[in-house]
Amino acid sequence: MITCYADWIRAGKLKVNPDWNTDRKVKFTVQDPCQLVRKTFGDPVAEDLRFVVKAVVGEENFIDMVPNRSNNYCCGGGGGFLQSGFAEARRQYGRLKYDQIIDTKADYCITPCHNCHAQIHDLAEHNGGHYHTVHLWTLICLSMGILGENERVYLGPDLAEVAMP
């Protein structure tokens, strides 16, 4: 789906706009999902992901994790680990990802994968992290001015009222 978003934005069919973040300068980083990037499509889809994110939040408001793309760290929540019942082991494994996000000093971590979203959100809550976790589609809709009131659950107070329809 990320490649479709990128293609639609490039073709002018998906009209996103980062102007909502010009003055706010809210900083974002992005998680490269294992299944999508490392195990399937590789760096080309990671590049499309970055293209979409920058088109939505503004290039100057994007901070990449190190390492990134095909070398990015696993969040520790995929492959059924979220449902395994071993929350402490999952959180301990995910500590590397948590530290990586914290090192960016980003306000938000964008996750295009539901498992990554749940794990990264849990890591922030469990470890007292300062970042919010947000789905990619949430920011796409926000940048288009069509994000509904009931779709703002994961936005922090700094973005909760942005571009209300």
pLDDT at residue 21, rounded to an integer: 96
CATH code assigned at 113? 3.40.50
Identify whether 20 is part of a domain: no
Q: What is the edge-to-edge ordering of all strands in the sheet holding 28-30?
A: 28-30, 108-111, 132-135
CA distance 124 to 127: 5
pLDDT at 127 over 80: yes
Of 13-22, 42-51, 70-79, 90-99, which range is least confident?
70-79
**What is the pLDDT, as a whole number, of residue 77?**
87
Asked if the structure places residue 159 within a domain, the reply is no
Give the pLDDT of residue 165.
Answer: 61
CA distance 21 to 50: 16
The stretch 39-66 carries a mean pLDDT of 96
**Environment class of 41 (CB within 10 Å of its CB; exposed 0-12, middle 13-18, buried 19+):** middle
Does residue 17 sit within a domain?
no
Query: How large is the C-alpha radius of gyration of the chain?
Result: 15
pLDDT at 47: 98
The 3-class SS string of the chain reads CHHHHHHHHHCCCCCCCHHHHCCCCCCEEECCCHHHHHHHHCHHHHHHHHHHHHHHHCHHHECCCCCCHHHCCCCCCCCCHHHCCCHHHHHHHHHHHHHHHHHHCCCEEEECCHHHHHHHHHHHHHHCCCCEEEEHHHHHHHHHCCCCHHHCCCCCCCCCCCCCC
What's the domain range around 144? Answer: 2-11+25-151
- Mean pLDDT in residue range 131-154: 94
Mean pLDDT of 83-103: 93
In a domain, 56, yes or no: yes
What would the mean pLDDT of 6-20 be, rounded to a whole number? 97
* CA distance linking residue 153 with residue 134, whole number of Å: 9
Q: Average of pLDDT values for 55-64?
A: 98
Is pLDDT at 44 greater than 80 in this prediction? Answer: yes
> Is residue 157 one of the residues assigned to a domain?
no
pLDDT at position 35: 84
Residue pointed to by tokens 């990619």: 136
* Number of domains, the chain: 1
* 131 vs 1, higher pLDDT: 131
Q: Give domain status of residue 163, yes or no.
A: no
Supply the pLDDT for residue 100: 98
Q: Would you say residue 128 lies in a domain?
A: yes
Whole-number Å distance between alpha carbons of 141 and 155: 12
Identify whether 32 is part of a domain.
yes
